Structure 1
Amino acid sequence: MTESEERENPAADDATKARERRAAAVRGAERILGAHGLDATIGERLTALTEAAWSVADPGRTGDLYGDGIVADLEERVAGLLGTEAAAYFPTGTMAQQVALRCWAGRTGNPTVALHPMAHPERHERGAFSALSGLRTVHPTTEPRLPDADEVRDFAEPFGALMLELPLRDAGYVLPTWDELVAVTEAARERDAVVHFDGARLWECTTHFGRSLAEIADLADSVYVSFYKTLGGLSGAALAGPRSFIEEAKTWRHRYGGQLFQQFPAVLSALVGLERELPRVPDYVAHARVVAEALREGFAEAGVPWVRVHPEVPHTHEFQVWLPYASKRLDEASVLQAEQTRTSLFRRWWEQGPPGLSVTEVTVSARGLEWTADDVRAAVADFVALIPPETAAQNA
């Protein structure tokens, strides 16, 4: 950004400086509750990938070419984990789901997709379903949870596909019970609709449901999974389902520009994630419940007048924390804590609902396993002490 552009857009400049300060504070922290791949430098990530890659691949092997070789190996691995006939690797989940729902629309003859208004395609993809694929979306419910069987069964108009995001991230990483999930998929099929799982974070769902990945995926006609969410890969996704459906999806993948020349770095990171992170996810989920309770206790001990941990018992290893303060004050406290105490408890905060009510997302992963409940409560006390006094500027 040039000097003239900075003068013309001071808000963007301030946002950039705040992001850089936050990133530096987290990188300098000795203890982090929820570490993220973006915390590392390029050199650190390349070194880590190089060191881990040879545990999942032969270094003497030639690279992939337009989706063969190690890419095909990853597709076979995912299909095996999900119990499907086949899988296709995609550079992004947005593309994978565009293709999946487009293919189902052609097969069912109905371009209408029933999904939650908080689902990723509705919130974060700039209307891509309608703009690119000619799909139309409808919402069986607007409640902050997935639709139930009655809402699907009694919906007032036909739809060709029911798309369920597992877990529903923007509602708090929430999941239905296993019986509710079975019932809602059965209700969709009573209406001659197919079921597609947006399983970007499907890896996190086995503990809550008490079922294997294959048992969960078996409820759907197709499933999308991400390799950078939960597993810590560089990027990439997979679409899994019947073999004929996946072959059709690969055709559309090419048309959408997803048949890349070579993809082995991202694919290697996905294989490493499946090998190293996936077996640890149940531990992350279990410890997230310890952390959630300790956070609630810590805020009560610190005298915060109101706090909400949602869900009260996390369904996955990710959940929300709500506090009655402006987001700017909480962002500042989060950065100050990392800078002054070398402990990073929270990241970004957003204001949702009434002014002065803010929410953050907490992820408990490998480094979070080191935190005891006492550690969490102590960090909360430090965080609350660093919340700046209320001012007009901070609430603006």
Structure 2
Amino acid sequence: MDVNENDDPAAAVAGPSVQERRFAALRGCERLLSGTRPQNLRERLAALTAEAEQAHDLDRRPDFYGDGVVRALEERVAALLGAADAAFFPTGTMAQQIAMRIWADRRGERNVALHPLSHPERHERRAYATLGGLHSVWPTTEPRIPTPEEIRGFDESYAVLTLELPLREAGFVLPTWDELTATVSAEDAPVHFDGARLWESTFHLGHSLPEIAALADSVYVSFYKTLGGVSGAALTGDREFVRTAKAWRHRYGGQLFQQWPAALSALAGLDRELPRLESYVTHAKVVAAALAEALAAVPGARVFPEPPHTHQFQVWLPYPARALDEAGLRLAEESGLGLFGGWRDSALPGLAMTEVTVAGPALEWTAKDVTAGVEALLALL
């Protein structure tokens, strides 16, 4: 699902030529284990046109400054999460900043509680600090959400506690439902969920989207990561929160004249992917177990977490990222097997990590197929 090159450090470092080579190689593969088949612009437009027919009445006028299809999307998301209202945003980075800023302004407090591995800290150039004048504090540095004891014992004040569900950089890990509710119950400040991948978290947590969202005072969801939309995000909360969020959206430059392509693709993604997510999450456990078994004899190799909490997880191998990228591209080009996406080097020399996304194309892979694919990759190394 994650096809955004900005989220692929290996591709960003390697440069456009490797991006184009990967695009062509994966697009030409007969079978893909991780992610979805890349589409060129013509294919993407054709797919959007076909799917949009079912997603929205195309005989209606386009949106203007957030009405029309954009408003229909906001209402759909609010209903899915059991929220009073929702606000569409062109990017999650903008939505996250504004959510934290609203809570900071309401409480007269410039500190916000984050995880050091969270998206605002790692992938947004700390925009909340540079543009919003906010400061982060960390109730925990462990690769998980903070415990009730850590919340109660923390000696810093803050305006809002942001919890990323799942915590991507830690391996797309989720708490249990009891752990999540205990942490939220221990918190006196407002709670904001960074739910970019909340859609697929319901199965591990064992509760519905409205039940999960009800634990937080505001929730952010993404339309392109899991749902395969063009772009965009939404914030949900009470009506006053959403009204304020829309005012700040305008100030931040997010009140675009027309955003109907992104809104249509988001509606189509909700229709297409939400019913499939359980099959992805279920099959991810099969794929992860097969990968772990196939890599058991490789010193330092690891699949994490096992079993996965969602349909995404990490694979670690004791090779440089550049060597793994080259071997993966050769496997795709020569054998038509697309096993993984881009790799990135870790702090430990010679150890690299990639993220696996089990989506539609992976459903046809058996455990035996996964083993054969890994053996073919290792042979190229």
Q: Is the pair's TM-score, using the shorter chain for normalization, greater than 0.5?
A: yes
Q: Which of the five TM-score ranges fits, normalised by the shorter chain?
A: over 0.9
CA offsets, 1:43-90, max 9 Å, x none?
010000001101011121111110011111110110001011000000
Looking at structure 2, the residues matched to 14 and 263 of structure 1 have their Cα atoms a distance apart, in angstroms, of 32
CA offsets, 1:134-181, max 9 Å, x none?
111001111112211111111111111000000000110011111110
**Partners of 2:144 and 2:170 within 8 A in 1:** yes
Change beyond 3 A, Cα 1:87–1:16: same
| SS of residue in 2 equivalent to 1:205 | helix
| SS of residue in 2 equivalent to 1:55 | helix
Find 2:317's aligned residue among 314, 323, 342: 323
- What is the TM-score of this pair, normalised by structure 1? 0.91
**Partners of 2:295 and 2:302 within 8 A in 1:** no
Looking at structure 2, the residues matched to 125 and 92 of structure 1 have their Cα atoms a distance apart, in angstroms, of 11
Aligned to 2:162: 163
- What is the TM-score of this pair, normalised by structure 2? 0.95
| SS of residue in 2 equivalent to 1:54 | helix
Aligned ranges 1:137-152 → 2 under 5 Å:
137-152=136-151
Amino acid at match of 1:256: Y
Aligned to 2:181: 182
| SS of residue in 2 equivalent to 1:133 | coil
| SS of residue in 1 equivalent to 2:61 | coil
Looking at structure 1, the residues matched to 340 and 18 of structure 2 have their Cα atoms a distance apart, in angstroms, of 15
Aligned to 2:5: none
| Bigger Cα Rg | 1
Change beyond 3 A, Cα 1:254–1:13: closer
Looking at structure 1, the residues matched to 100 and 22 of structure 2 have their Cα atoms a distance apart, in angstroms, of 38
Looking at structure 2, the residues matched to 263 and 15 of structure 1 have their Cα atoms a distance apart, in angstroms, of 29
The alignment status of 1:35 with 2:35, answered yes or no, reads yes
Amino acid at match of 1:19: Q
Find 1:366's aligned residue among 360, 363, 369: 360
Looking at structure 1, the residues matched to 267 and 55 of structure 2 have their Cα atoms a distance apart, in angstroms, of 6
Change beyond 3 A, Cα 1:112–1:335: same
Find 2:252's aligned residue among 253, 256, 264: 256
Amino acid at match of 1:321: V
Percent of aligned positions that are identical: 61
Aligned to 1:22: 22
| SS of residue in 1 equivalent to 2:87 | strand
Aligned to 2:340: 346
Aligned to 2:9: none
Looking at structure 2, the residues matched to 17 and 339 of structure 1 have their Cα atoms a distance apart, in angstroms, of 15
Aligned to 1:70: 69
Amino acid at match of 2:33: L
Question: RMSD over aligned Cα, in angstroms?
Answer: 1.3
Aligned to 1:79: 78
Aligned to 1:291: 287
Amino acid at match of 1:275: D
Query: Structure 1 residue 246: deviation in Å?
Result: 0.4
Looking at structure 2, the residues matched to 56 and 19 of structure 1 have their Cα atoms a distance apart, in angstroms, of 31
Aligned to 2:327: 333
**Partners of 2:91 and 2:233 within 8 A in 1:** yes
Amino acid at match of 2:322: K
| SS of residue in 1 equivalent to 2:193 | strand
Looking at structure 2, the residues matched to 14 and 104 of structure 1 have their Cα atoms a distance apart, in angstroms, of 39
Looking at structure 1, the residues matched to 104 and 127 of structure 2 have their Cα atoms a distance apart, in angstroms, of 15
Looking at structure 2, the residues matched to 264 and 15 of structure 1 have their Cα atoms a distance apart, in angstroms, of 31
Structure 1: runs of 5+ lacking an equivalent: 1-11, 388-396
Aligned to 1:57: 56
Aligned to 1:355: 349
Aligned to 1:240: 236
Query: Structure 1 residue 282: deviation in Å?
Result: 1.1
The alignment status of 1:194 with 2:193, answered yes or no, reads no
| SS of residue in 2 equivalent to 1:113 | strand
Change beyond 3 A, Cα 1:185–1:14: closer
Query: Structure 1 residue 13: deviation in Å?
Result: 10
Amino acid at match of 1:267: A
Aligned to 1:107: 106
Structure 2: runs of 5+ lacking an equivalent: 1-11
